[in-house]
Amino acid sequence: MTSHTTSPVKLPARFAPVAFALYMSGLVAFMMSLVLTAMNSGLDGAFLGRVLRGYLVAWPVGFVCVMLVPPLVMRLVQMTVAPPPQR
């Protein structure tokens, strides 16, 4: 008897930056939606619905930001962090 295992379908490597942006923005947007909704309106029976409504707006905004701002962030890092010493 042979065991057949199927590998999950994976995206080509060229899509790694997009996949990273998708996952990173999704996780950060969800965490921020949780915290900000709790701070602004408290925890009650409608909390999760409010979180999800905010998340639906925050995730696309976060995705666009993660895709577009890395060059600016790298420039800011270069302005504030000393280069490694030369050997």
Q: What is the pLDDT of residue 84?
A: 92
Whether 9 is covered by a domain: the verdict is: no
How do residues 51-71 score in pLDDT, each as one tens digit? 999 999 999 999 999 999 999
Other Cβ atoms closer than 10 A to 51: 20
H or E element in which residue 54 lies: helix 47-68
Q: What is the pLDDT of residue 6?
A: 82
Whether 6 is covered by a domain: the verdict is: no
User: Residue 58 has which token pair?
Assistant: 């925050």
How do residues 1-38 score in pLDDT, each as one tens digit? 666 778 899 999 999 999 999 999 999 999 999 999 99
Whether 5 is covered by a domain: the verdict is: no
Closest CA to 32 of 66, 58, 4: 58
Whether 37 is covered by a domain: the verdict is: yes
Contact 1, 11 (CB under 8 A): no
Q: What is the pLDDT of residue 87?
A: 85
Give the confidence band of 50 by pLDDT, cuts at 50, 70, 90.
Answer: very high
The dihedral of CA 43, 47, 53, 56: what is its sign?
Answer: positive
pLDDT of residue 86 exceeding 70, the answer is: yes
The model's pTM is: 0.78
Number of domains in the chain: 1
Whether 47 is covered by a domain: the verdict is: yes
H or E element in which residue 38 lies: helix 16-41
Whether 70 is covered by a domain: the verdict is: yes
Give the domain extent around 65: 25-79
DSSP 8-class letter at 43: S
Whether 32 is covered by a domain: the verdict is: yes
